[in-house]
Amino acid sequence: MSINYCEKERVFTLQTQNATYQMIVDSHGYLLHCYYGAKIERQNLSYCIQPQDRGFAANPPDAAGDRTLSPDTLPQEYSTFGVGDFRESCLDVRDKNGGVAADLRYGSYRIYPGKKPLNGLPAAYGNEKDVDTLEIDLRDEVSGLVVTLRYSVFAQWDVIARSAEIFNRGTGVLILERALSCCLDEPVPASRDILTFYGRHMGERNLERMPLRHGKFRVDSMRGASSPHYNPFVILCDSAATETAGNCWAFSLVYSGNFIAQAEVDQIDTLRFVMGIAPQNFSWELKPGASFQAPEVLLCFSDYGFDALSNRLNGFQMQHLVRGKYRTERCPILVNNWEATYFDFDEERLLALAREAKEVGIEMLVLDDGWFGERNDDTTSLGDWFVNRQKLPDGLAGFGAKLRALGLQFGLWFEPEMVSPISCLMEQHPDWCLHIPGRENVTSRSQCVLDMGLSAVQEYLFERMSGLIREAKLAYIKWDMNRSITNARSMALPPHRQGEVWHRYILGVYALLERLLNAFPQLLIESCASGGGRYDAGMLYYSPQVWASDNTDAVDRLKIQYGNSFGFPMKTMGSHVSVCPNHQTGRTAPLETRALTAMCGSFGYEMDLTQLSDVEKKQIKAQIELFKHQWQLHQLGEYHRLTDAQNDRWFTAWQVVSEDKSVALVQLVLLAPRANAPVLSVRLRGLQEDAVYEDDGGTRYTGAALMKAGLALPPMRGDYSSIQIEFQRLL
């Protein structure tokens, strides 16, 4: 059992393979945080908590003159506002008198093998062998509020899944004005950096690292989706941590809506980190007997740097978060018609594309935007999920049958959460769209947002989508979401409950996704939000493939995929080979390099294959063969970032290794060719030191040599030229 409670000392200890997490219930019933870091056994770590009179601190009524007892200076396991802790709170609760306070003290605990699902929310899963769960109830005697903190320990992966459920066990209505998911207070000062992943449309997941200073540093989203701008995945680390050394902690919110992640260094140099649903414009009415479930946060720890951290967290997500057959199976190699045709297609053009696709070995055609209503550009018809017979005279069923006759599967694009002002749906149901009476809606890409919290909206979308999935025998849908939310007001809620709209929206999205997956368990859903605008652990629960960016330029993709690799499994990353000059950047890169980059993720093509030369077709055929042979390594192997793809100037290199260390691939893309260049070399990782590996040219090296002395490559020439080297361990 990875969870221990010492009754005598009132200490809870969670042990994973390489980490220890410890809390203590103090003599006043505060649940205090002792330690989270590299593994320590048989030790009560509460000596790290040193209560002191910090001068004019707030003391609770039961302090009885003890000025060292203050929630403001003690490391809290779940912080609240109103009773003396002035740092960032997890919980703000307003009672019927208007007062905001919650004084949480220890009540009881339960430990059990396994893990329960979270009501209506995505969450990590596991059976009794994989995970143990600790639940701790904290109570506020005055209001009757109970907070259940849950810690599910996946020891093998060094992951603890934390969440909080808030119950109203009192007699009056309570209003939650914030309800975050987790708090981590370090009792002793340490010099820490934070790594965040900021971005923009077509430039997602840029890693930024900075030292934490006094004050608060936050990334967040108030856009309704987790957003490309900041990601709900961050890392804290020792200031000296590197890819291969040092303590680091990952925090990934299993949620796809508004969020905050905030680190605060306080007056006595200690760190508080909090994460959860963004409190701005959030409120939730909690009637007596009701509860509110805050989303889960995945905590992962490594004392060997970011490389081990990513491999643990990403391996964990593939085993215990991603679901369905594509967790382990290869996703079909697809061609998407978006960059091939945009809105300008008819059945003939699509079938020509399909024939070429089949010829080169592609397995599925994905029909993107523009197949429905009157949609010939992006200004109309969202919501009218009825096929446009001018483009597809035999409907989707007929078109799908033609694809299947060619030997291809059929995938289809939807943007379910949206409605165009010019659409039949808007005419029929203007109230289904989020809007503020008396105020004209703000549009973005000429579209408005449906109120996904409404059951009528969910019903309509389920009926339309499931009908089409069945009728056209769809193997795949691309679920797009192309705008941030404004006018967030729902007709279903009274004025004083409009703070619930944002969260109810996401719950509605999750409910529809879940319902579709229950109805069609084999369906592959690729999530997309103008590219990688909703790439988060929440979506991974429904969607084993996420379109990483609308930027298909291979050289830019190296950076985006590098950023993603810190917190998201490579297999989940939708990645396509597109045409040159690239549509987003105008850059030209060799076809091999474009393929090598796309093979990092769930591989596909997004180009007009009818325009290819015979030589290019041959190359593509070979790429597809190669990917079919190598996909397990690329997608399920250990992944190592050998260079800093966002800052290194000359080349980018990465490596994948099979679980048993018998095969490794090194990939390198030359960013800037140089005359009379210094030797290109990289140090490999994750090999067996004492084994001998042979590369595809027959040269032999020991694992130790490749990892310590490194691999030295012959000179390379040409813009963005690339190389892949395979190493096989000799018996």
**Shortest distance (Å) from residue 366 CB to ligand DGJ:** 9
Name 206's bridge partners.
Answer: 198
Interface residue with ligand DGJ, options 476, 502, 547, 654 (CB under 6 A):
547
Our CB check for ligand DGJ shows the closer of 372 and 505 to be 372
Q: How far apart are CA 223 and CA 467, in angstroms?
A: 31
The position carrying tokens 């330690």 is 35
DSSP string covering 130-163, please?
Answer: T-EEEEEEEEETTTTEEEEEEEEEEGGGTEEEEE
Chain mean position to CA 543 = 10
**What string marks each residue from 315 to 344 as x (binds ligand DGJ by CB under 6 A) or -?**
-----------------------x------
Cα Rg, the chain, nearest whole Å: 27
d(CA 543, CA 66) in angstroms, rounded, equals: 53
346 catalytic? Reply is: no
CB of 549 to ligand DGJ, least distance (A): 8
Question: Residues in the chain, how many?
Answer: 731
Assess 605 for contact with ligand DGJ (CB under 6 A).
Answer: no
Q: Quick one: which of 569, 593, 570, 571 has its CA closest to 580?
A: 593
| Nearer residue to ligand DGJ within complex by CB, 103 or 368 | 368
Q: Which is nearer to ligand DGJ, 80 or 447 (CB)?
A: 447
In the bound state, the residue with its beta carbon closest to ligand DGJ is 369
Give 587's Cβ-side CA count (13 Å radius).
18
Closest among 142, 165, 88, 173 to 496, alpha carbons compared? 173
What residue ranges in 9-54 does DSSP mark as E strands? 11-15, 19-25, 31-38
Residue of 530, 597, 623, 655 interacting with ligand DGJ (CB under 6 A) = 530
Catalytic residue among 220, 368, 480, 556: 480
DSSP 76: B
* DSSP secondary structure letter of residue 524: E
Q: Which is nearer to ligand DGJ, 137 or 480 (CB)?
A: 480
CA distance 384 to 368: 15
Q: What are phi and psi of 566, to 5 degrees?
A: -65, -35
CB of 532 to ligand DGJ, least distance (A): 9
Contact letters (x/-) for ligand DGJ, 404-423, by CB under 6 A?
A: ---------x----------
Tell me whether residue 400 or residue 532 sits nearer to ligand DGJ (CB atom): 532
The pattern of x and - marking residues 442 through 471 that bind ligand DGJ according to CB under 6 A reads ------------------------------
- The token duo for 211 is 């030292």
Provide φ and ψ at 125, rounded to 5°: -130, 160
Read out DSSP for 83-106?
SS--S--SEEEE-TTS-B----EE
Q: Out of 238, 266, 500, 550, name the contact with ligand DGJ by CB under 6 A.
A: 550
Q: Please, what is the minimum distance in Å from the beta carbon of residue 98 to ligand DGJ?
A: 45
- Cβ proximity to ligand DGJ: between 528 and 633 the closer is 528
Q: Alpha-carbon distance 574 to 411, whole Å?
A: 14
Residue 379: CB minimum distance to ligand DGJ, A: 12
Encoded amino acid at 244, one letter: T
Q: How many CB atoms lie within 10 A of CB 658?
A: 16
Q: How far is the CB of 547 from ligand DGJ (least distance, A)?
A: 6
How many residues at the interface with ligand DGJ, by CB under 6 A? 11
List Cα–Cα distances, 302 to 18, 45, 236, in angstroms.
7, 19, 11
Q: Which amino acid, one-letter code, is at 196? A: T
Find all residues with CB under 8 Å of 340, minimum gap 6, and list them: 353, 606, 607, 608, 609
CB of 538 to ligand DGJ, least distance (A): 18
| Residue of 669, 550, 648 whose CA lies nearest to 599 | 669
What is the rounded distance in angstroms from the CA atom of residue 85 to the CA atom of residue 615?
68
What is the rounded distance in angstroms from the CA atom of residue 74 to the CA atom of residue 57? 11
Q: Which is nearer to ligand DGJ, 369 or 608 (CB)?
A: 369
Residues 469-528 interacting with ligand DGJ (rule: CB under 6 A): 480, 482, 528
84 vs 544 by CB, closer to ligand DGJ: 544
Residue with smaller CB distance to ligand DGJ, 158 or 369: 369
Per-residue x/- track, 342-381, ligand DGJ (CB under 6 A): --------------------------xx------------
Q: Which two tokens stand for residue 510?
A: 């999750």
Strands lying side by side in the sheet with 31-38? 3-6, 11-15, 19-25, 31-38
- Which candidate, 289, 274, 222, places its Cα nearest to that of 91? 274
CB of 528 to ligand DGJ, least distance (A): 5
Closer residue to ligand DGJ in complex, CB, 59/543: 543
Provide the minimum distance between the beta carbon of 542 and ligand DGJ in the complex, in angstroms, as a whole number.
17
Q: How far is the CB of 373 from ligand DGJ (least distance, A)?
A: 13
Determine if residue 389 is left, alpha or beta; phi over 0 gives left, psi from -120 to 50 gives alpha, anything else beta: alpha
Q: What is the DSSP string of 290-327?
A: -EEEPPPEEEEEESBHHHHHHHHHHHHHHHHT--SGGG
451 is catalytic: no
> What is the maximum alpha-carbon separation in the chain?
86
- Which of 137/415 has CB closer to ligand DGJ? 415
Q: Which of 193, 220, 384, 550 is catalytic?
A: 550
Nearer CB in complex with ligand DGJ: 72/368: 368
One-letter amino acid at 527 equals S
Minimum distance, C-beta of residue 463 to ligand DGJ, in the bound complex (Å): 23
Residue type, 373: G
Q: Work out which of 531, 544, 601, 703 binds ligand DGJ, going by CB under 6 A.
A: 531
Q: Where do contacts with ligand DGJ occur on this chain (CB under 6 A)? A: 338, 368-369, 413, 480, 482, 528, 530-531, 547, 550
Please give the positions annotated as active site.
480, 550
